[in-house]
A = this chain, B = another copy of it.
Amino acid sequence: MNIKLAIIDDNTFLVKAIKDKLSFFDDISIKWIALDGSQGLAKLEENHNLDIILMDIEMPVLNGIETTQMVKQKYPHVKIIMLTVFDNDENIFKAIQAGADGYLLKEVDPETLHKGILETINGGAAMNPSIAMKTLKLLRNPVDEKFLENKEDIKLSKREIDVLEQLSKGLSYTVIADNLILSPSTVRKHIENIYKKLQVHSKIEAVHKAKRHNLI
């Protein structure tokens, strides 16, 4: 099996170190390297036939967390392993929330990196033991709200929330109308308005975004 891999990292020295580590293994081919998130997204736009990305966190233009979120939104099939020198709780938590499939430190030895990549491709998660411990602690203690800041504030009306709640259960327009004692037309109109406010174009997206913003 040939694994199509990409690296997004602004530090050329560390990129070279990663390349050296991967050079031992002929089942991995490095498709491209980007020096920041937006450059990486551009490369993905061209060709999203890719298995996995090794992603740095600290980068100019678009950092690793934001980039991870965007990649996972558009190309959820692409696995992402965060590969960084820092391992503070906030970064780890945000990376996980953004959808990262693993989190390794840059001093990782070649074998562990290779194994981690293979395991991630097979649906597992690659994790440094010290980071694994941090995730366990995060799971144990309810996560502080300090990590969850909602930049844009979206205001939905009470009725729109009602509709959204029903939407999230997977109910159809007609059933929602029946439940809320409304005409289906009204439900549709509400949903149209919700879409505009949330800037989405489907039920799932609406529910997804609403949950992220604690609206439902």
Structural contact, B136 and A167, CB atoms closer than 8 A:
no
Residues of A contacting B: mostly: helix
**Cβ-based interface call for A1 (8 A):** no
Interface membership of chain A positions 123-144, coded 1 if the CB is closer than 8 angstroms to chain B and 0 otherwise: 1111111101101101110010
A60 at the interface (CB under 8 A from B): no
A76 to B74, CA, bound (A): 44
Q: How far is the CB of A195 from chain B (nearest CB, A)?
A: 11
- Indicate the size class of the contact surface on chain A: 35 or more
Q: Are B101 and A208 in contact (CB under 8 A)?
A: no
- Tell me the chain A residues, 89-106 only, with Cβ under 8 Å from chain B: 93, 96-97, 99-102
**Inter-subunit contact A208/B168 (CB<8 Å):** yes
* Complex Cα gap A116–B123 (Å): 20
A96 to B136, CA, bound (A): 7
Determine whether A202 belongs to the interface, using a CB cutoff of 8 Å to chain B: yes
